[in-house]
Amino acid sequence: MKRKQYEITVNAPREQVWEALWGKGSYEEWTSAFSEGSTVKTDWEEGGKVLFVNAENEGMVARIQEKKAPEKMVFKHLGMVDKEGNEDYDSEKVKAWSGAEEIYILKADGQKTNLIVEMDLDEGYENYFDEAWPKAFEKLKKLAEKS
């Protein structure tokens, strides 16, 4: 596994960027760059369970490891969920990346925000994320800047 970093500057205060990242509706809009119909099921509380799912209701299970609004959110990926809602934490496929982190850091710079995303990823997915993150960032930037 490899830690990769992606970064963008948004012309909005970090509170607006935070809301665009995690707000109902806006989350679904910017994450469509990864998978159309993506959504999240969580209470957004530190320690809380998170289901990142696609339009077919399958995806990843994570936990909010750290939350400091509007500065930092850390997800720890733990498993997968299938269409029927069954959670898998033990298969060989899951064990290969279980414990991977996805970290969002928002740094204030006057009325701008520097958003840094660090994620642990399997090198086989590096090209996918290298192409998807710039698209997701553009969607997020538009959402945050129009708020």
**What's the pLDDT tens digit per position in 30-56?**
999 999 999 999 999 999 999 999 999
Tell me the pLDDT band of 64, cut-offs 50, 70 and 90: very high
- Location of structure tokens 């997020």: 140
pLDDT for residue 144 is more than 70: yes
pLDDT of residue 141: 98
H-state helical runs in the chain:
14-22, 26-31, 92-95, 126-146
Rounded CA separation 8/96 (Å): 29
Average pLDDT, the chain: 96
pLDDT for residue 146 is more than 70: yes
Tell me the pLDDT band of 124, cut-offs 50, 70 and 90: confident
pLDDT for residue 10 is more than 70: yes
Cα angle for residues 12, 14, 18 (degrees, 5° grid): 110
Tell me the pLDDT band of 147, cut-offs 50, 70 and 90: low
pLDDT for residue 123 is more than 90: no
Rounded CA separation 68/10 (Å): 19
Rounded CA separation 35/31 (Å): 7
pLDDT of residue 67: 98
CATH number of 2-146: 3.30.530.20
Indicate the pTM of the whole model.
0.95
Asked if 33 and 139 count as a contact pair (C-beta separation under 8 A), the reply is yes
pLDDT for residue 27 is more than 90: yes
